DNA sequence: GTGAAAGCGCTAACAA
DNA sequence: TTGTTAGCGCTTTCAC
């Protein structure tokens, strides 16, 4: 990479003259500016990012820590963050915590050495289970702002972007009840994490309000064979006529299993799942989905962080933004 | 963040003494080392990454440019890269080209300012269609090594990690022929990119060798309704008894559509798709898949790059690593 | 209109 | 054993 020094030497001027010329300073003579710019162009000069970061004490880089990149929702949020950040000239350093508290701490620690100006993150499952938050507080007290999304720690004072999990699941369940469904099951693989609990509660509230049947919950562990679990559950519970799935995989498999067992969907059984558009194509009939607008969540998180980074005025108040889900009716419901 | 300067001041020693003490230099007295380390611990001192990067002229950061983070295969590769890079103390800056040549160029340009030590990338579709490679050559000539994976530009001299697409598809097709399938269709959404073409060729070769029926190819565009396309294709071609899908979505939808139309899978029709394990659960019966070992591809790419970065000896020879796919037989084939 | 010098945080050669 | 100095690439203040 060419440096100012090299340009200066070749042009027989000082480094500061070159710097000023390239930054369109008024001080420098027209002729000089022209000469400098031409040579810079020729050598494809670009200001060294690292030097700038050191000088200005900011990196224009955001650390993003997510529990699992293979989770479609989280990948989509990352996409939203990246796109929004790029707009404002920020880069993204991505770390994957693998749902592990230790890795989450380590990533935070490693990047809190001047590598990034702030963090956007989604809590690891283990972090939520153990309810550890000290590492977040420490990071923030070091002057690195954090924005949490989806799975957040309410006891940490920072900006947050969340989903209306409770309401959305409540409303989805209600909509099945309106279809006169009499035996709706809630299927979930998200037992450990906050959003999973919220979704279950939303479901339970809707069911309990009807006063006609008891909540019925099927929890599936990561290591289980999801297909077998759901199949044997359906065989045991033959009167199931509705499914609320907390994750896309459960929804897709539940629908396919119902069809396999001879149920007509949505005539005999309705299915609603938290899932994305592309997931909804993986069943016939197409899946009715609760969309979380992951890209928007990412974009919002990025905006909140960048705002905080660029606001010189010390804003003390933290914001929590709720990105509302949308129930997209398709062919798996009446 | 605390700096050496602040520690030095508080300890009444010079900056270099502090630096040496923290780096376990033999030069410094035991007592001093102890005092320094204690204070550093107390203040949670961490060497400023940016300053180190500037000093050592390397960032220990890798730029990763991928066309689409929502593509499960690419996300998984990114995961592999991240994990391997982390092992060696490297960070990952992720850029998403959105299959656009312009964005790919821009990302390369933006990071080639000292932000990263090298690149790992997968070509955007547009880049492959237009066959542009100048930006890669320029980057390499600036001293930034590139490792390409999956979709690569053969005319660029750099390390590469690829998949045995041609052979894998040829073999998969062969295996359906061994099942005495008489009318096998190749379904793909990957028309523009190199791997899509390779897969189609592998299929064609296997079919043409049999000399019993003509290759039959269904190409689906991004904007098409994949379900409708496949459904109407199946209705028109009622003798289809085998499917080779170049992508997971096509495979899943083809299988589900076959079942919907009353075909027994695998009795009346076999399906094989390029897909991951989790995809294979989205059909009943479970999908037979060609696994690409995406994580390994990522890990290999990271290794190749880090090797090159750390090898002081100017290695001129470039390597191309082929990560072989595996055909995982499941219930959608005989 | 141009240049010298300081400083961002750090390391390392050299001096004391 | 400890300190001084230079330098990584850049911006910016202050002299000329």
| Class of domain B165-292 (CATH, top level) | alpha beta
Q: Is the dihedral of CA B206, B209, B213, B216 positive or negative?
A: positive
Which nucleotide is at minimal CA–C1' distance from A14?
A: C3
Residues in reach of strand D, judged by a CB distance below 7 angstroms, are A 1, 3-5, 15-16, 19-20, 22-23, 27, 45-48, 51-52, 54-55; B 12-17, 20, 27-29, 31-32, 51, 54-55, 57
Q: How confident is the model at residue B313 (pLDDT cuts 50, 70, 90)?
A: low
Q: Model confidence over B50-84: pLDDT tens digits? A: 999 999 999 999 999 999 999 999 999 999 999 99
Provide the residue ranges of all domains of chain A, joining segments of one domain with +: 4-47, 59-162+294-323, 165-292
**At residue A314, does pLDDT exceed 70?**
no
- Separation in Å, CA of A252 to nearest CA in chain B: 6
Q: CATH second-level architecture of A59-162+294-323?
A: 3-Layer(aba) Sandwich (3.40)
What integer pLDDT is reported at residue A1 of this predicted model?
A: 87
- Nucleic strand C within 7 A of Cβ B284: no
Q: What is the pLDDT of residues A228-256, one digit of tens each?
A: 999 999 999 999 999 999 999 999 999 99
Position B291 scores a pLDDT of 98
pLDDT at A42: 95
- Per CATH, A59-162+294-323 and A165-292 having the same topology is answered yes
- The pair phi, psi for residue A327, each rounded to 5°, is -90, 110
- Residues 34 to 93 of B: which have CB under 8 A from any A CB? 44, 46-51, 53-54, 59, 61, 69-70, 72, 75-76, 78-79, 82-83, 86, 91-93
DSSP lists the bridge partners of residue B323 as B163
| CA atom of B36 to C1′ atom of C5, Å | 32
Q: How confident is the model over B181-240, as pLDDT tens digits?
A: 999 999 999 988 999 999 999 999 999 999 899 999 999 999 999 999 999 999 999 999
User: With 90 as the cut, is the pLDDT of residue A311 above it?
Assistant: no
Which strand (E) or helix (H) includes residue A76? helix A72-87
* A312 — pLDDT class (breaks 50, 70, 90): low
Per-residue model confidence (pLDDT) at position B316:
75
Segment B269-281 mean pLDDT? 96
Q: Is the pLDDT of residue B315 over 80?
A: no
Burial of B43 (0-12, 13-18, 19+ CB in 10 A): middle
């Amino acid at each position: 990479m060419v440096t100012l020094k090299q340009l200066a030497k070749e042009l027989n001027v000082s480094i500061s003259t070159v710097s000023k010329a390239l930054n369109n300073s008024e001080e420098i003579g027209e002729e000089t500016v022209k000469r400098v710019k031409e040579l810079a162009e020729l050598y494809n000069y670009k200001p060294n990012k690292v030097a700038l970061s050191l000088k200005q004490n900011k990196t224009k880089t955001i650390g993003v820590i997510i529990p699992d990149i293979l989770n479609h929702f989280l990948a989509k949020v990352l996409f939203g963050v990246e796109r929004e950040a790029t707009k404002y000239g920020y880069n993204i350093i991505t770390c994957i915590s693998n749902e592990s508290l230790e890795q989450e701490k380590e990533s935070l620690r490693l990047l809190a050495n001047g590598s990034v100006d702030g963090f956007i993150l989604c809590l690891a499952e283990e972090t939520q289970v153990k309810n550890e938050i000290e590492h977040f507080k420490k990071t923030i007290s070091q002057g690195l702002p954090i924005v949490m999304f989806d799975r957040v720690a309410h006891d940490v004072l920072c900006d947050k972007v969340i989903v209306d999990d409770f309401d959305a699941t409540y409303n989805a369940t209600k909509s099945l009840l309106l279809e006169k469904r009499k035996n709706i099951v809630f299927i979930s693989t998200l037992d450990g994490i906050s959003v999973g609990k919220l979704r279950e509660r939303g479901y339970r509230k809707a069911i309990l309000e009807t006063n006609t049947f008891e909540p019925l919950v099927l929890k599936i562990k990561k290591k289980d064979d999801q297909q077998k679990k759901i199949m044997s559950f359906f065989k045991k519970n033959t009167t199931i006529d509705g499914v609320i799935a907390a994750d896309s995989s459960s929804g897709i498999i539940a629908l396919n299993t119902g069809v396999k067992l001879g149920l007509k969907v949505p005539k005999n059984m309705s299915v609603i799942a938290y899932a994305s558009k592309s997931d909804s194509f993986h069943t016939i009939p197409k899946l009715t989905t609760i969309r979380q607008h992951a890209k928007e969540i990412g974009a919002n998180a990025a905006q909140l962080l960048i705002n905080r980074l660029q606001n010189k005025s010390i804003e003390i108040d933290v914001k929590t933004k709720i990105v509302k889900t949308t129930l997209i009716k398709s062919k798996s419901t009446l």
